[in-house]
Structure 1
Amino acid sequence: MSSSLARRTYQRIDRGIVPVLILVGWELFSRSGVLPPALLPAPSQVMLAWADWVFGLDGNTQNYSGQWIHDVTASAGRVFAGFGIATALGIFLGMSIGWSRKVEKLIEPTLQVLRPVPPVSWIPLAIIWFGIADKPAIFLVFLGSFFPVLLSTIHGVKTCDRNLLRAGAMTGGTPRMLLAHIVFPAALPSIFSGLRIAIGSAWMLTVTAEMVAVKSGVGYVLWDSYYFLRYDIVIASMVSIGLLGFLSDFAIKHLAAHVLRWQRGSTLQAKEG
């Protein structure tokens, strides 16, 4: 028991070495005078601004003081709305394209033409179509999340073992039963990989949209504080986005570990910890 506890403690310390070294080096460099403190705030200064943004301690961040939860909630709502729509549509179309050659020939060429178009290039049209509100941000998040989910689902379906399908068909399985009980479970590892990529894209796109088309959220705070030369708040916004993206990915990763329990003894995931 004691050796197990020591191992877990070592793993936690090991994971914190790089962040601690970065923070210490950043603090020392910021205080060295190579750059003006206003241009590169030290981590301690960023933490003070962040604390006021979160808790409203002393009003140091002015209009942002105590508004962190409101800003994060606004951004998270856009992320999960766009991500949820992209997940549902991406899995549905991915299963259809991967399973049916007719659907693949009908739909995939159009999707492959649209896929290289950067989601940010849709911003002018999104503003024209949806105005300045949540809808353009949700639309951009959807665009950024959709294709990773779609392509990972197609890959998962197409790499399904044919022997499993033959065995299912021999026992009287209908195409719908084969899809539900063999193809979809076999595609889940690829689908979860796509979801992890998609959630990162979702956070990036919602921040981009909030800089241009929305007047609330973490991305808006980042861009607005830049105009007022509050780089401590800019960095606090960047760190907030990174943490929110990390937590979202962490949730998907652990959901995948729960759903894909059958992989634990046969893949390298068994060595993770």
Structure 2
Amino acid sequence: MAAIARSSSPSPLLGLALPAALVAVWEVLGRAGVVPQGILPAPSLVAATWWDWAVGPSGMGLNPYLGTWFETVLFSARRVFTGFAAAIALGVPLGIMIGWNRLVAGAFDPLIQSLRPIPITAWLPFSIAVFGIRDAGAVFLIGLGAFFPIVVNTTAGARDTPRNLIRAARMMGASERQLLLRVVLPNALPAIFTGMRLGLGIAWTAVIVAEIVAVKSGLGYVLWDAYYVGRMDVVIADMVSIGIAGFLSDRILVAIGHRVLHWKQFGAR
């Protein structure tokens, strides 16, 4: 019976119970005046602000945020997925080669491990100096942030390829290219998707950092602009939007992983 209980899937509503309880407590404290509305607006006010931000008539009145939510999210999403795609295109092949070839590992791994601890914020002055206040700087920071978890996890997946599989493939006459594409790469795919999920989370963090400083549009820019003018309701609505965008993009990646790795359980539900 215990084994059956552990194997059963929890209800999707279970994950909403704690957030709903926290929001309810937050709303009660806000309406009672325990929490200052200028610092932490009640959820009902944040929801109303988000609604105006999403569907309000843009270009009318003194509120510059009216009706700009979809455009703002698209700006950020485009930068995230451009940088993320570049990180995959570079990180996966390089990680496979580092995990497979000792010469490539000796040439690239020390450099990667030296650059990996440098935080994204430390790259901001370099990005602005090279790319200016443009999208290219934001995409560079996003791609850089996503690159390291992808390449490190891909390397680990390639190195963990069972030697018996490699020997068997060689005995059957497989070339080095066939070994990489038909043995090493499939074996590394679970680790690659794990690295991609980590990289995607960092990409959403990096886009906010980049948009606060390096560009003048997107969720990060609105976050800082709203804080500067004291619109904490917009700040919190922006934070919730970032969380939702990150969650949905992760769910899409997990769904792709389940389809690609149908032969092996992938990810956490």
TM-score w.r.t. the length of structure 1 is 0.91
Look up the match of 2:204.
Answer: 203
Instruction: State the one-letter code of the partner of 1:157.
Output: A
8 A Cα contact 1:52 1:61, kept in partner: no
Give the distance between the partners of 1:20 and 1:126, measured in 2 at CA.
Answer: 40
Instruction: State the one-letter code of the partner of 1:160.
Output: T
Give the distance between the partners of 2:39 and 2:69, measured in 1 at CA.
Answer: 23
Look up the match of 1:3.
Answer: none
8 A Cα contact 1:50 1:233, kept in partner: yes
Look up the match of 2:213.
Answer: 212
Instruction: State the one-letter code of the partner of 2:29.
Output: F
8 A Cα contact 1:140 1:209, kept in partner: yes
CA shift digits 1:247-266 (9 cap, x unpaired): 110011111111111114xx
Give the distance between the partners of 2:248 and 2:19, measured in 1 at CA.
Answer: 16
Shift in CA distance, 234/61, structure 1 to aligned 2, threshold 3 Å:
farther
Instruction: State the one-letter code of the partner of 2:38.
Output: A
Instruction: State the one-letter code of the partner of 2:128.
Output: I
Alignment of 1:5-20 (within 5 A): 11-20=11-20
User: Aligned pair count?
Assistant: 261
Give the distance between the partners of 1:63 and 1:222, measured in 2 at CA.
Answer: 13
Look up the match of 1:255.
Answer: 256
CA shift digits 1:21-55 (9 cap, x unpaired): 11101111212212321111000000000001000
Give the distance between the partners of 1:239 and 1:220, measured in 2 at CA.
Answer: 15
Look up the match of 2:33.
Answer: 33
Alignment of 1:183-194 (within 5 A): 183-194=184-195
Give the distance between the partners of 1:129 and 1:13, measured in 2 at CA.
Answer: 47
Instruction: State the one-letter code of the partner of 1:14.
Output: L
Look up the match of 1:92.
Answer: 93
Instruction: State the one-letter code of the partner of 2:31.
Output: R
CA shift digits 1:205-249 (9 cap, x unpaired): 000110111100011000000011100000000000000000110
Gaps of 5+ in 1: 1-6
Look up the match of 1:81.
Answer: 82
Instruction: State the one-letter code of the partner of 2:41.
Output: P
8 A Cα contact 1:95 1:154, kept in partner: yes
TM-score w.r.t. the length of structure 2 is 0.93
Look up the match of 1:145.
Answer: 146
Helix, strand or coil for the counterpart of 2:24? helix
What RMSD over aligned residues (CA atoms) do the two structures have, in Å? 1.8
Give the distance between the partners of 1:120 and 1:224, measured in 2 at CA.
Answer: 19
Instruction: State the one-letter code of the partner of 1:81.
Output: T
Does the alignment pair 1:47 with 2:80?
no
Give the distance between the partners of 1:44 and 1:35, measured in 2 at CA.
Answer: 14
Deviation at 1:61? 7.9
Look up the match of 1:68.
Answer: 69
8 A Cα contact 1:49 1:60, kept in partner: no
Give the distance between the partners of 1:18 and 1:35, measured in 2 at CA.
Answer: 20
Helix, strand or coil for the counterpart of 1:11? coil
CA shift digits 1:89-132 (9 cap, x unpaired): 00011011111001111111111111111111010111010010
8 A Cα contact 1:49 1:61, kept in partner: no
> Whose helix proportion is higher, 1 or 2?
1
Give the distance between the partners of 1:99 and 1:13, measured in 2 at CA.
Answer: 44
Look up the match of 1:4.
Answer: none
Detail structure 1 runs of 4+ shifted over 6 Å in the superposition. Answer: 58-61
